[in-house]
């Protein structure tokens, strides 16, 4: 995907994304939203995932010191700091919500001081309370401005959730709306859930900024690779996966499968 932009935007994206190939990020920030992922218990148990053949890692600001040794040993690994918490991801077994809320918990300046290359912030759309939706948009816009002020790229993650979008979370029109909202707020890239089958080309083709695809049910190595094949074919810039990596029996093999599928986007059986 060719994305035009100003010199600062081009240079910000160069720090974040591989210009010559599909980018692979591991989202180790999920503990802030849902607690320890998969079979892990402690934060430091996620360190091996930063040692995979990935291009970047998402962390919370407070988690950066735990990964400092790996980040120092791998200076080419892009560091993306998650700026906000939200309640929207909690499943049926963990105090579930329909209309969630969120709060910004760290700043772009703190991320820059810790050596980050970029930050990421949610932008929840579809909430039953328009005041909550407006607050998300306001905080997302502020995250972009503050990131750019300190020279960092900002990924916005438009999240279609709430009573006004129930059952339509991966609907093409809603995802296109979310992407356009993020783009109009100044995002350097967007992270979105995989569009429903048949809509991948349409959704990714609507974006004027690079698109990173998130882990999206069903979760398995095979499904992860198929999603990559569909996304790469449609022009996605990469993936930012969480559950797919944490649930994988052989995460290193999954990364290899993802890279293979991105080069030849026809899908590869990981069984």
35 found inside a domain: yes
Q: Is 214 helix (H, G, I), strand (E, B) or coil?
A: strand
Residue 24 is inside which H or E element, if any? Answer: strand 23-27
143 found inside a domain: yes
| pTM assigned to the model | 0.92
pLDDT of residue 239: 98
31 found inside a domain: yes
Residue 235 zone, left/alpha/beta (φ > 0; ψ -120 to 50; rest): left
119 found inside a domain: yes
218 preceded by a cis bond (ω within 30 of 0): yes
pLDDT of residue 98: 74
pLDDT in tens, 139-196: 999 999 999 999 999 999 999 988 898 888 889 999 999 999 999 999 999 999 999 8
44 found inside a domain: yes
1 found inside a domain: no
Say how many domains are in the chain. Answer: 1
Say which CATH number the domain at 105 has: 3.20.20.70
269 found inside a domain: no
What is the extent of the structural domain holding 183? 7-263
224 found inside a domain: yes
Q: Is 123 helix (H, G, I), strand (E, B) or coil?
A: strand
Cα–Cα distance between 117 and 154 in angstroms, integer? Answer: 9
pLDDT of residue 265: 59
Q: What are phi and psi of 46, to 5 degrees?
A: -90, -10
pLDDT of residue 197: 82
């Amino acid at each position: 995907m060719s994305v035009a932009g100003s010199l600062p935007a081009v240079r910000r994206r160069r720090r974040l994304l591989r210009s010559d190939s599909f980018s692979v990020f591991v989202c180790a920030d999920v503990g802030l939203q849902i607690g320890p992922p998969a079979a892990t218990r402690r934060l430091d148990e996620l360190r091996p995932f930063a040692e995979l053949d990935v291009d970047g890692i998402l962390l919370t600001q407070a988690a950066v010191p735990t990964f400092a040794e790996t980040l120092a040993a791998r200076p080419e690994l892009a560091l993306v700091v998650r700026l906000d918490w939200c309640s929207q991801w909690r499943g049926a077994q963990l105090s579930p919500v329909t209309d969630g809320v969120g709060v910004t918990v760290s700043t772009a300046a703190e991320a820059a001081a810790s050596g980050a290359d970029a930050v990421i912030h949610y932008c929840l759309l579809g909430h039953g309370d328009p005041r909550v939706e407006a607050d998300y948009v306001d905080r997302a816009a502020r995250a972009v401005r503050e990131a750019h002020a300190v020279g960092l790229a900002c990924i916005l993650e438009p999240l279609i959730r709430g009573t006004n979008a129930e059952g339509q979370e991966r609907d093409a029109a809603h995802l296109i709306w979310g992407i356009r909202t993020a783009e109009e707020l100044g995002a350097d890239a967007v992270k979105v859930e995989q569009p429903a089958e048949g809509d991948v080309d349409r959704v990714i083709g609507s974006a004027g900024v690079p698109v990173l695809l998130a882990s999206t049910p069903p979760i398995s190595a095979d499904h992860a690779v198929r999603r990559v094949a569909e996304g790469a074919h449609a022009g996605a810039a990469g993936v930012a996966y969480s559950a797919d990596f944490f649930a994988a029996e052989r995460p290193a093999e999954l990364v290899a499968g993802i890279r293979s599928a991105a080069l030849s986007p026809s899908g590869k059986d990981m069984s």
